[in-house]
Chain A
Amino acid sequence: MNNMFQNNQLWQLTKCHLLETVREPGVLFWGIVFPILMSLGLGIAFMNKKDVTHNVAMVGIVAPALDSLLSAHGSAPANSTGGKVSLHLNNPKTGNTTFAFFPMSWEEAMVQLKRGQLNLIVTDSAGSIRYHFDPLNPDGQLAYLKLSNVVDNHALLDPKSHENISPLTVKGTRYIDFLIPGLIALGVLSSTMWGVSYTIIERRAKKLLRRMVATPMKKSNLLISMITVRVMMNFVESVLLLLFAWLVFGISIQGSIPALFAIFLAGNIACAGIAIFISSHTSKTEIGNGLINAVTMPMMVLSGIFFSYHNFPAWSLGVIKSLPLTMMADSIRAIFNEGAGWAQVSMPSLILTLTGTVFFIAGLRIFKWH
């Protein structure tokens, strides 16, 4: 039995690809450590915002209405100090807000506005407050609306005025809940492209493919073993990322686990097919780099991995939704956060599998072994 395995070329090829992969520290870093670091960084950056802070520039004399507000509720009267003054609005129903007021010149305020360090400038206009902000900047709009509300009627300061608000605490609405499924999908695409496409191109460039096909090795065994190892590695990478997100951020899967397996496998098939197709001809690693980036970069930007793709123009959404990475990320996200099951993911799974199969067959037809 042992001898049979020793001689079996598919077994040997799979074993060698696996050994090669796990012995490469770079592969482990980019496949396992990097996605975890990314989720940690982005998760912390977007989660630790119990207080929303708006930085506001005070230029010139502070208007009396604002000065008296800061005297009553702020850390200090604005006109008495030359430094920063803070105003905290603690309200569990609307969310906590902090305004940080910085006295500065108009020129300084312009520079900081351009750098994104503040979104709102207040000046005095004949004893009244004048607000300056970019109406196309949502943060500027929000800072204005909140501050003017406080200055005009102090409504945000009074919890009783928000009795009609019922705060929602729904699972799966945090940024990390949005991010992790996207990172899993992106990991599958990225790892498969580099792990399969680049490896094939590099082996062609090294003449190793030519050397191997000069033996009685079955060509299909080589490709099957590479894809098998990549799917196994993608699975391990995804499970580790998920485990980390569960431990650190308490992320959970609300939908069907078997359906998650199905869409994960279908996504792997689609990516593997595309990987074989783009690596089918070139023997130059520089061109391979370009081809892999040409496939992964647009999908990474468009497919809503880090931010929702619904901000793109309506006419482009049809195309974006039909990209393999979007389909995979949306389906995984639906299972994680919306409790989706077979009914929701069967069609995307089928389309992804077909996509992979078509690209795989097309790639094999033009595949250059030497």
Chain B
Amino acid sequence: MVKSFKEVKAVQGIDLTILRGQFVALLGPNGAGKTTLVEMIEGIQKPDNGEILITGKPWKGNEEELRRLIGLSLQETRFIDKLTVVETLRLFASFFQLGKERVEEIILLIGLEEKRKSYVVNLSGGQRQRLALGLSILNNPAILLLDEPTTGLDPTARREIWDILLKLKETEGTSMILTTHYMEEAEVLCDHIVIMDHGTVLCKGSLEELLTSPEPSPRGERKLNNLDELFIQLTGRRLYE
């Protein structure tokens, strides 16, 4: 896929295949092209060149069908303040013709039973993000797109989100594409990691594959300690400076 905005080349020839049930992390600094890539997968941006196929189908002509397959959670989405948790979930459930039963399942899954009648505005940051996640998995999505789902959350709240996602990984056949600033998040949740910079893929593979460097370090070691070290090796700078 190729995508430019006027003079800015946001995505420059990315080719990516994500398998059913695979959890993929997109890592890269600001301006790497992660959000543009996610927006193209989500169908709100059209690539200048290339094509996106979801379960073998392009967006053009299949929009309604593909919307039913996708779940989405954006960074800092704010829902309707004066609706309760259950009202918000029922609203989104109605878009997929889902009933009360699925809403109850989700409330249980995201652990908001006690907050079901609380207004969204009164939820904590972590609870709000759990609600956003719940909304994104209402329809048992084939593809779940998560844009920095734990940014700004404290470690406990982040861990709660991870637990929900790990449960989802065990039970559903959902593929997930996650953009994140947290290396640990990618390491814990994802079985495939894509490192991007300047609209291109620098490298991709499992954590094990990525941390095993083809080039020995000055001390003669081939094993890297973390993804940050890998990024420094690839670009000469830290991932999130």
Residues in chain A within 8 A of chain B (CB atoms): 3, 6-9, 11-13, 16, 19-20, 23-24, 206-208, 210-217, 369-370
Contact, CB under 8 Å: B95 / A216: yes
From residue B136, how far is it (CB to closest CB) to chain A in Å? 9
Once A211-B77, A215-B95 are accepted as A-B contacts, the answer to whether A19 and B67 lie under 8 Å apart by CB is no
Task: Give the contacting residue for A9; candidates B87, B88, B94; CB below 8 A.
Answer: B94
Residues of chain A contacted by B90 (CB below 8 angstroms)? 6, 12
Bound together, the chains give a CA A19 to CA B88 distance in angstroms of 11
Nearest A residue to B98 via CB reads A7
Once A6-B94, A214-B42 are accepted as A-B contacts, the answer to whether A208 and B68 lie under 8 Å apart by CB is no
Chain B, residues 48-64, CB within 8 Å of chain A (1/0): the string is 00000000000000001
Q: Say if the beta carbon of B227 comes within 8 Å of chain A.
A: no
Q: Say if the beta carbon of B232 comes within 8 Å of chain A.
A: no
Residues of chain A contacted by B142 (CB below 8 angstroms)? none
From residue B73, how far is it (CB to closest CB) to chain A in Å? 8
Contact, CB under 8 Å: B70 / A16: no
Bound together, the chains give a CA A11 to CA B81 distance in angstroms of 19
Residues of chain B contacted by A210 (CB below 8 angstroms)? 44, 74
Residues of chain B contacted by A208 (CB below 8 angstroms)? 77-80
A sample of 14 more A-B contacts (CB under 8 A), given A9-B95, A208-B78, A214-B70, is: A6-B90, A6-B99, A7-B97, A12-B91, A16-B83, A16-B87, A20-B83, A208-B79, A210-B74, A211-B72, A212-B95, A213-B44, A217-B95, A370-B44
Nearest A residue to B147 via CB reads A207
6 contacts between A and B (CB under 8 A): A7-B93, A19-B83, A207-B76, A207-B78, A214-B72, A216-B68
Bound together, the chains give a CA A172 to CA B216 distance in angstroms of 94
Q: Say if the beta carbon of B222 comes within 8 Å of chain A.
A: no
Contact, CB under 8 Å: A7 / B87: no
From residue B5, how far is it (CB to closest CB) to chain A in Å? 15
Contact, CB under 8 Å: A23 / B82: yes
Bound together, the chains give a CA A370 to CA B38 distance in angstroms of 14
Bound together, the chains give a CA A217 to CA B139 distance in angstroms of 13
Residues of chain B contacted by A16 (CB below 8 angstroms)? 80, 83, 87-88, 91
Once A6-B100, A19-B87, A214-B42 are accepted as A-B contacts, the answer to whether A207 and B95 lie under 8 Å apart by CB is no
Contact, CB under 8 Å: B67 / A216: yes
From residue A273, how far is it (CB to closest CB) to chain B in Å? 24
Nearest A residue to B103 via CB reads A6
From residue A97, how far is it (CB to closest CB) to chain B in Å? 54
Residues of chain A contacted by B43 (CB below 8 angstroms)? 214
Contact, CB under 8 Å: A7 / B77: no
Contact, CB under 8 Å: A216 / B64: yes
Residues of chain A contacted by B42 (CB below 8 angstroms)? 214
Contact, CB under 8 Å: A207 / B74: yes
Chain B, residues 26-57, CB within 8 Å of chain A (1/0): the string is 00000000000000001110000000000000
Nearest B residue to A222 via CB reads B95
Q: Say if the beta carbon of B162 comes within 8 Å of chain A.
A: no
Nearest A residue to B63 via CB reads A216
Residues of chain B contacted by A370 (CB below 8 angstroms)? 44
Nearest A residue to B145 via CB reads A214
Residues of chain A contacted by B119 (CB below 8 angstroms)? 23
- 8 A-B pairs with the lowest CB-CB distances in the bound complex, closest first: A12-B94, A215-B95, A206-B78, A23-B82, A217-B95, A9-B94, A216-B67, A214-B72
Residues of chain A contacted by B97 (CB below 8 angstroms)? 7
Residues of chain B contacted by A215 (CB below 8 angstroms)? 67, 92, 95-96, 139
Bound together, the chains give a CA A7 to CA B92 distance in angstroms of 9
Bound together, the chains give a CA A8 to CA B93 distance in angstroms of 9
* Residue picked from B78, B91, B95, B135, most chain A C-beta under 10 Å: B95
Contact, CB under 8 Å: A7 / B82: no
From residue B175, how far is it (CB to closest CB) to chain A in Å? 16
Bound together, the chains give a CA A11 to CA B139 distance in angstroms of 19
* Residue picked from A8, A13, A208, A216, most chain B C-beta under 10 Å: A216
Residues of chain A contacted by B83 (CB below 8 angstroms)? 16, 19-20
Contact, CB under 8 Å: B82 / A19: yes
Bound together, the chains give a CA A207 to CA B96 distance in angstroms of 20
From residue B98, how far is it (CB to closest CB) to chain A in Å? 7
Nearest A residue to B80 via CB reads A20
Nearest A residue to B97 via CB reads A7
Nearest B residue to A215 via CB reads B95
Nearest A residue to B44 via CB reads A370
